[in-house]
Amino acid sequence: MSKENISAREGDTTDSVIATPPEKALRADAQKNRDKLLDVAHRVFRTEGISVSMDEIARRAGVGVGTVYRHFPTKEDLFGAVIVSHKARLIEEANQLLDHDDPGDAFFYYFARIIREGIANKAITDAIVSSLNINTGRSEVARNFWRGIDNLLARAQHSGSVRADARIEDIKVLLIGILQATGESGNFPDRVVSILIDGLRG
Amino acid sequence: MSKENISAREGDTTDSVIATPPEKALRADAQKNRDKLLDVAHRVFRTEGISVSMDEIARRAGVGVGTVYRHFPTKEDLFGAVIVSHKARLIEEANQLLDHDDPGDAFFYYFARIIREGIANKAITDAIVSSLNINTGRSEVARNFWRGIDNLLARAQHSGSVRADARIEDIKVLLIGILQATGESGNFPDRVVSILIDGLRG
Amino acid sequence: MSKENISAREGDTTDSVIATPPEKALRADAQKNRDKLLDVAHRVFRTEGISVSMDEIARRAGVGVGTVYRHFPTKEDLFGAVIVSHKARLIEEANQLLDHDDPGDAFFYYFARIIREGIANKAITDAIVSSLNINTGRSEVARNFWRGIDNLLARAQHSGSVRADARIEDIKVLLIGILQATGESGNFPDRVVSILIDGLRG
Amino acid sequence: MSKENISAREGDTTDSVIATPPEKALRADAQKNRDKLLDVAHRVFRTEGISVSMDEIARRAGVGVGTVYRHFPTKEDLFGAVIVSHKARLIEEANQLLDHDDPGDAFFYYFARIIREGIANKAITDAIVSSLNINTGRSEVARNFWRGIDNLLARAQHSGSVRADARIEDIKVLLIGILQATGESGNFPDRVVSILIDGLRG
DNA sequence: TATGAATGAGTTTTCATTCAT
DNA sequence: AATGAATGAAAACTCATTCAT
């Protein structure tokens, strides 16, 4: 598997999916704060894990805690929002990969892609990991995220590149597992990914 | 991989290694409390993870916190004690598997075995996970645990049953990953294990 | 020794040094709480010593423990704050006494002054006592405090009013000793001070 | 002041006064435990201060905590007992000094003697220090201890060697003060004692 | 009588969440 | 709307004292 034979969209960060806030439109300054908070939360959750205090997040975002709570009534909500924004980006990428010539390459590339993203950004790992819990998908985005992979998987299986018995749940487990296990190191685990992909081949 | 062609010791729980309490013999009542505490800690760590408070453990064991601390001076100590008893059992099993006829079967069986144990007991998962971080192995038991797998791995690679480029670190990542990923479900992830094992074959 | 021939500032409590709160201006309510806390801590440390719990201080101040910790992240910090305010006042006074006409009177007055302060406030005693142990002076304030006395001592010795062999360490011991010994009583020990001063005369 | 011109009884440790336990006669083994406990408590209070736990004392004495509490119903009681045994020895010495030729020497020697003892043995310091609190003397021994000094003081004042206005309370404060202040150092504070004695001269 | 296991209130400190300014 | 001060329920751990063995 190589991502070279794929029209890679490395820096593609069109947040079109995130842009839609839950409720009504926010005032400009409120939206700015919300973005700032998500941005800070991303960085902070990535480096420190979910254990950072809300005060710390508020401090780094340069706002009061009250403001954090205005936007995210619960710490879990903030964390969830971080998850969502990351997933949105990846969902888009999955959709584009559906058009790729080689279904096997597309799937394996995406599989490795997610791991790569997660390694480089603990927030994504957290996002994916926690999306297991919200399993059936409390959020639309979480559902879409896994559906994106599922589509690539189905196509790859249909083409015979991926073993027929693999299910999306298994992919979930593999991804979540490897992401959590390598989360701290920061290095892409080539051999391990290679093992997983070989195990997945049809 | 099939565990059937192995003199399986599924229920084998000979705790010969664990049975030896650290110090001298305890008074009857103290021993009863210590056992009760370990028992409660097992169950509680398994279901709720290590986040349970010592007060909660004391409450469920029907003793005062002071008693918990008399037996286990630190929460880490209590957690460690729970872990050690499990690991000790697994280590013993690994050593016995070194004598098995088919090195490949032995390794793959043990690989699955650990996952099975971890699935059944969150404490084991936590233990294995934390032993990765302390990498070189602060504790003798942790070192022995990984050494046991490494021995089986080397033998299986030598016989050609496992791919030559796999290293013990990769096995760690795979185990830790899958254990964390499936920890909540409680079911043995047959297909996922099959994928991993296929990916590991020589 | 007589403090009468000195422009005595018995009640002089110009807190010019203390008056400046550490950081920025606090919100009205926060400042009120901070003041209340310092006030309570003063009284409580004075009467009960530093063994009082933070909960107790919070309770007496009519605030939650969290509030105490917001203002003083550590018990030591709270204690330190109480102390600093007292020492700051005494340091200033020592500096002013350096200008006094009679070096002997100045020294003896200050010597008695400190005792008087310590008698009236157990926190000061504790502070002075603890500043002995940290000998070289962990805190700037502690160093300045003793330097203030040392300056007065040197001047008095040079003028022949105080025995030449006395060293600042001796003064420390005498002050600390008498403060601790009379701490509980609450009365100024006239005769004892007189004895000490006679023993110190040149 | 010199102790050389006095028939010094440096090692004199006849505990005749202590030997009388509060209640009835104890069984031999019980008495042995009581002695052991006092011995340990002496050493331990001296070096660690009153903050040592009862468990620690029991451990060092090689008995169970229960035994400690059988002999001393309260930690305070144990501490009190330590105090008493030390005072008893000093009381005897004071009584013998009443026969000394030079009343001034006798008093000053005893004064220094107590300091010396206290410096060498924090338990004594604690004993004397805490006897201030039990002021009027909850215990007979405490009363006798101070009466011993008072007798020496009166005789010295009558002979004109000690200033007439000094009272036993002042001596208390001076002793307690210097003992507490130099307690940690372990060195006899020559200059400070010299200052005190000069201040006390008639 | 001795032992040491058990107790549990109390200690310092943290942090998600609420609410007055 | 934003702020950040206040809250108080934990959490881990200690230790004087009691009591079953």
Q: Do B170 and A177 touch (CB under 8 A)?
A: no
Closest nucleotide to A69 by C1' from CA = E17
Residues D145 and D123 in one domain: yes
Residues C165 and C122 in one domain: yes
Residues D95 and D191 in one domain: yes
- In whole angstroms, give the CA distance from residue B10 to residue D18: 69
Arithmetic mean of pLDDT over chain D: 80
pLDDT per position as a tens digit, A14-27: 333 344 444 456 66
Residues C101 and C29 in one domain: no
CATH of residue C106: 1.10.357.10
Q: What token pair was written down for A157?
A: 């299986």
How far is the CA of B197 from the CAs of B75, B104, B107, in angstroms? 36, 10, 10
Q: Which residues pair with D201 in a beta bridge?
A: D162
Chain C 88-127, residues with CB within 8 Å of chain D CB atoms: none
Task: Give a yes or no: residue D8 inside a domain.
Answer: no
Residues C91 and C60 in one domain: no
Range of the domain at C124: 76-200
pLDDT per position as a tens digit, A135-168: 334 567 777 888 999 999 999 999 999 999 999 9
State the DSSP H helix or E strand holding residue D75, giving kind and residue range, or none if neither: helix D75-97
A-contacting chains (≥3 CB pairs under 8 Å): B
Task: Give a yes or no: residue D192 inside a domain.
Answer: yes
Chain C residues within 8 A of D173 when measuring between CB atoms: 178, 181-182, 189, 192
Please, which pLDDT band fits residue D2 given cuts at 50, 70 and 90? very low
Residues B55 and B142 in one domain: no
Residues A94 and A157 in one domain: yes
Closest nucleotide to D52 by C1' from CA = F15
Chain B residues within 8 A of A163 when measuring between CB atoms: 195, 198
pLDDT at A129: 63
Task: Give a yes or no: residue D114 inside a domain.
Answer: yes
Q: Which of B11, B40, B73 is a domain's end point?
A: B73
Q: Do D170 and C177 touch (CB under 8 A)?
A: no
Amino acid sitting at position C29: D
Residues D99 and D69 in one domain: no
Chain A residues within 8 A of B196 when measuring between CB atoms: 195-196, 199
Task: Give a yes or no: residue D1 inside a domain.
Answer: no
Domain total of chain A: 2
Task: Give a yes or no: residue D3 inside a domain.
Answer: no
Residues B35 and B108 in one domain: no
Kindly determine whether the C-beta of residue C71 is less than 7 Å away from any atom of nucleic acid strand F. Answer: yes
Q: Which long-range contacts (CB under 8 A, 24 or more apart) does A151-154 make?
A: A151/A94, A151/A95, A151/A98, A152/A94, A152/A97, A152/A98, A152/A103, A152/A106, A152/A107, A152/A110, A153/A107
Q: Do A177 and B179 touch (CB under 8 A)?
A: yes
Chain B residues within 8 A of A199 when measuring between CB atoms: 194-200
Residues 6+ apart with CB under 8 A from D14: D89, D92
CATH of residue B49: 1.10.10.60
How far is the CA of A97 from the CAs of A183, C18, C44, in angstroms? 25, 67, 70
Task: Give a yes or no: residue A170 inside a domain.
Answer: yes
Task: Give a yes or no: residue C168 inside a domain.
Answer: yes
Residues B132 and B182 in one domain: yes
- In whole angstroms, give the CA distance from residue D198 to residue D201: 5
- How confident is the model over A58-79, as a mean pLDDT? 90
Which residue bears the tokens 């697994």? B90
Q: Do B195 and A167 touch (CB under 8 A)?
A: no
Residues B51 and B95 in one domain: no
Q: Which of A73, A88, A111 is a domain's end point?
A: A73
Q: What is the pLDDT along chain C (202 residues), one digit of tens a residue?
A: 333 344 333 333 333 333 334 445 667 788 888 888 988 888 887 777 677 899 999 999 999 999 999 999 888 888 878 777 666 677 777 888 889 999 999 999 999 998 888 777 666 666 666 555 433 345 677 777 888 889 999 999 999 999 999 999 899 889 878 877 776 566 788 999 999 999 999 8
Residues C136 and C89 in one domain: yes
Tell me how far apart the terminal alpha carbons of chain D are, to the nearest angstrom.
14
Give me the residues of chain B with pLDDT under 70, please.
1-26, 46, 49, 85-88, 121-139, 180, 183-186
Task: Give a yes or no: residue A6 inside a domain.
Answer: no
B-contacting chains (≥3 CB pairs under 8 Å): A
